[in-house]
Amino acid sequence: MATERTFSIIKPDATRRNITGAITKMLEDAGLRVVASRRIRMTREQAEGFYAVHRERPFFNDLCAFMTSGPVVVQVLEGDDAVVRNREVMGATNPADADEGTIRKTYAESIEANSVHGSDSPENAQVEIDFFFKPDEIVG
Ligand code: CMP
């Protein structure tokens, strides 16, 4: 199995509740290593650029408003099969559908305030990592 990198965001509902450490522990316990991490306040421009693929969706404006409503923690995670592994530990987008023991089942408040984002493919992971990090900010 190849070592891979994926991109993660700990969202404003989680920073507000001071559970960034608890979530990071779940990521680490799932075999993922945090090789870059930065707490930021996303600008509207960053949120709209990052979620550009969802621009036509009815929830796009609310999503961008939510993602800029408080601090987030952007992270690069490394590990075997990191994209799939991260998606497994995150659980389904809607916490109502998420399996027991996943981050979203444990912590998410709603489909919008769902505590974490994770890349859905290695190709998108690279795009999303490059959106927030320079190569020398990632230390594996
Ligand atoms: P994320 O993985 O960050 O990618 C896009 C986000 O849009 C997703 O998590 C959800 O938080 C949000 N989202 C997806 N579907 C809906 C929806 N139907 N209503 C509101 N937000 C949604």
pLDDT of residue 88 exceeding 80, the answer is yes
Percent of the chain with pLDDT over 70: 99
Residue 1 has pLDDT above 80, yes or no: no
Q: In a mutational test of the pocket of ligand 1, which residue from 13, 72, 114 has the highest number of ligand atoms less than 8 Å from its CB?
A: 114
Residue 2: predicted pLDDT: 82
Entry pTM: 0.97
Which of 112, 116, 131 for mutating ligand 1's site (highest number of atoms within 8 Å of CB)?
A: 112
Q: pLDDT confidence of 109, banded at 50, 70, 90?
A: very high
| Long-range contact set of residues 20-27: C-beta below 8 Å, sequence gap at least 24 | 20/73, 22/107, 23/103, 23/107, 23/115, 23/116, 24/75, 26/89, 26/103, 26/106, 27/75, 27/77, 27/86, 27/89, 27/103
pLDDT by residue (tens digit) across 54-76? 999 999 999 999 999 999 999 99
